[in-house]
Amino acid sequence: MKALTLHELNGLVRQTLELTLSDAYWVQAEINELRTNRHCYMELVQKDTRGNGIIAKARAQAWASQWGLIKATFEHTTGQTLAAGMQVLMKVEVTFHELYGYSLNVIDIDPTYTLGDIARRRQEILQQLKEEGIDTMNKELPLPRLLQRIAVISSASAAGYGDFCNQLHQNKRGLAFKTALFQASMQGNEVESSVIAALDRIMEQQGEWDVVVIIRGGGATSDLQGFDSLALAENIAQFPLPIITGIGHERDDTVIDMISHTRVKTPTAAAEFLIHHQEEELDTVEDLALRITTYTNQRLLNETARVKMLANQLPMLFSIIKTREDLRMGRMTTTLIRNCTQHFEKAKSRISLLDQRITLHVPLSLSNERKRIELMENKLSNAEPERILRLGFSISRIGGKAIKDANEIKEGDEIETTLASGTLKSTVTWKKT
């Protein structure tokens, strides 16, 4: 058997594939790698739906003659640029080159398939947020009446950031705003991590801010994929301050647009939203001030008129009150005189009655008192010691003290006895108690 060279074998493979797979095929795949110059070179893969491992891989290329039209059509329809990670439906031809091997020539890409996949991924994220019960949390936060302290998440070099600041700080009514930039990447693979990091920094000084504004402005629409992130959406949905997004695109809403408190189209629109909110509050305050001033002035006029009316009525009121009080004093004087007269007459009657009683009872009382005194004199006269002694009694004394008890003396004591006529001295020789 004649041996084949490798080139001959590869040529045989190429001829066989060209004969067998001569048609073009629509293939579903995920772009794993992508690089462009004039042409576009891709690595396509298919992943296992259960384990996410790669179960098929192929190189693909879109030559310059086809790539310009494919690229323009895809971007116009989807608003995004082809990038790694996208699911695509592309029309390909199978090719084999003796030197470069097996690959696919891309002759068309169906952008509606990719749109459907992007929409599907967004819906999956929104559904998960809903299942977690956080999809409307940020929307439900009340906007503070004063939105003056604005934490801005953006790239310092973004034109949208400059437009936002100019629009905000140079507003026609001279409203004052405080802004601070929390820098983050607004495109590429770092969008998710850098925006979350900026939110974390704002969270550390939450009390210093009224609202958070995420603005992008300008740039390719293909860079919007970073804003369709579950982790970023969870952070925004649960953030304790209202978040306003002005990503700078009108046709499509990203996931963070859908779950943020308020979505506006551009950074300038975000500034206008804040200005309008403050203008409404200023209008409310000015209206209240005008109403207070009007009410106060009207109340002052009313009270001034009332004071003048009272001042005009004062002499008449004084005359009425004086007449009324004079009459009251007259009635009181009459009542007082009448009461005093009645009391005086009653007192005179009482004194006269007492006088009669005294005149009647004094002689009788004097007579009774004389009799009582005579009776007492008789009793005193009967109780005189001389009279008692004349009746046969005597008084014995010892040491000048009358003896009342035999126990007060002892045998041998000398006692003195007084009689009605004369005095005796004797010595005690016997006693009985």
User: Rounded distance, CA 192 to CA 335, Å?
Assistant: 101
Name the residue among 403, 405, 387, 407 with its Cα closest to residue 395. Answer: 403
In angstroms, the Cα distances linking 189 to 28, 32, 136, 195, 235 are 24, 14, 26, 11, 17
**Quick check: helix, strand or coil at residue 24?**
strand
Q: Cβ contacts of residue 220 below 8 Å, gap of 6+?
A: 81, 187
Tokens (6 digits) for 414 = 């000398």
- Provide block-wise average pLDDT over 10 residues at a time, the chain (433 residues): 81 81 87 91 86 84 93 83 85 89 91 77 86 92 91 87 91 91 85 92 94 80 73 93 83 81 91 92 86 90 86 81 87 88 86 80 80 82 71 78 81 82 83 76
Predicted local confidence at residue 218, as pLDDT: 59
Name the residue among 4, 13, 2, 3 with its Cα closest to residue 98. Answer: 13
Predicted local confidence at residue 251, as pLDDT: 58
Homologous superfamily assigned to 6-109:
Nucleic acid-binding proteins (2.40.50.140)
CATH classification (class only), 136-279:
alpha beta
User: Rounded distance, CA 43 to CA 82, Å?
Assistant: 13
Question: What residue segments make up the domains of the chain, in order of their start?
Answer: 6-109, 136-279, 387-427
User: Rounded distance, CA 48 to CA 29, Å?
Assistant: 12
DSSP strand E in 250-399: where?
262-263, 395-398
Contact between residue 150 and residue 211 where contact means Cβ atoms under 8 Å apart: yes
Predicted local confidence at residue 383, as pLDDT: 66
Strand partners, 25: 92
Predicted local confidence at residue 196, as pLDDT: 94
Q: ∠ CA(418), CA(423), CA(424), 5° rounding?
A: 100
DSSP strand E in 176-223: where?
178-183, 211-215
Predicted local confidence at residue 208, as pLDDT: 94
Helix (H) / strand (E) containing 326: helix 267-382
Which strand ranges, in their side-by-side order, compose the sheet holding 401-402? 401-402, 395-398, 414-418, 423-427
Model confidence, pTM: 0.53
**CB neighbourhood size of 398 (10 A):** 14
In angstroms, the Cα distances linking 110 to 25, 40, 122 are 12, 16, 19
How many Cα atoms are found within 13 Å in the side-chain-facing hemisphere of 171? Answer: 22
Name the residue among 251, 252, 245 with its Cα closest to residue 266. Answer: 245
Q: Cβ contacts of residue 144 below 8 Å, gap of 6+?
A: 210, 211, 242
How many Cα atoms are found within 13 Å in the side-chain-facing hemisphere of 188? Answer: 5
User: Rounded distance, CA 265 to CA 238, Å?
Assistant: 22
Helix (H) / strand (E) containing 40: strand 40-47
Predicted local confidence at residue 21, as pLDDT: 80
Place of tokens 């891709």: 42
User: Rounded distance, CA 162 to CA 166, Å?
Assistant: 6
Q: Cβ contacts of residue 215 below 8 Å, gap of 6+?
A: 152, 153, 154, 158, 160, 161, 164, 245, 246, 247, 248, 266, 267, 270
Contact between residue 177 and residue 232 where contact means Cβ atoms under 8 Å apart: no
Q: DSSP characters for 84-123?
A: TT-EEEEEEEEEEETTTEEEEEEEEE-HHHHHHHHHHHHH
